[in-house]
Amino acid sequence: MDILEEFRGQSDRTICIVGTIILSTKICMVDGKFSLYEKDEILKTFPTNDPKKKKTIIDIIDKASKDKNDISYHAERIKKFVDPKHDKFLDFIVATLIKFAKSDHHFDEKEKKLIRKVVDIFNEHKELSFYEKTKKKLGFN
């Protein structure tokens, strides 16, 4: 079952957070492994004192780390669920992916390529200068 389907009836904000967790996990796995450090960094990005919410976040991370769908699939699903009037959520997702890609102090070409895919998918959803700036900044011409 699609991870986002479980949250289908939730707010755009919730879909954004779940989608960001999924895509962040996928970015962290680009080198073939998903370390406890990376998992902890995702948990720090979405802090909560609520044990139930923390368990939900850990469950999403675990499902995303085992999920066979690629980053493009999940970006398309997020784009489908997020209302175009909440386009700042998509900006947040891209910014978070860049943060995780750089978290190991090495911005790998594979990570750039995956983020480029997400930017291109989200750019189809709306036209924002943010995406053009991101493409230029990361050398995605």
pTM (predicted TM-score): 0.82
| pLDDT tens, N- to C-terminus, the chain (141 residues) | 688 888 888 888 888 899 999 999 999 888 777 888 889 989 999 999 999 999 999 999 999 999 999 999 999 988 888 877 777 888 888 889 988 888 777 778 888 899 989 988 887 655 545 656 666 666 665
What is the pLDDT, as a whole number, of residue 128? 47
CA atoms of 48 and 60, how far apart (whole Å): 15
* 7, 49, 79, 112, 138 from 108: Cα distances, Å: 31, 33, 25, 6, 11
What is the pLDDT, as a whole number, of residue 125? 53
What is the pLDDT, as a whole number, of residue 102? 80
Closest CA to 34 of 25, 43, 42: 25
What is the pLDDT, as a whole number, of residue 1? 63
Which phi and psi (to 5°) does residue 47 adopt? -70, 145
Tally of CB atoms within 10 A around 63: 16
DSSP 8-class letter at 18: H
Which DSSP helix (H) or strand (E) runs through 137?
Answer: helix 129-137
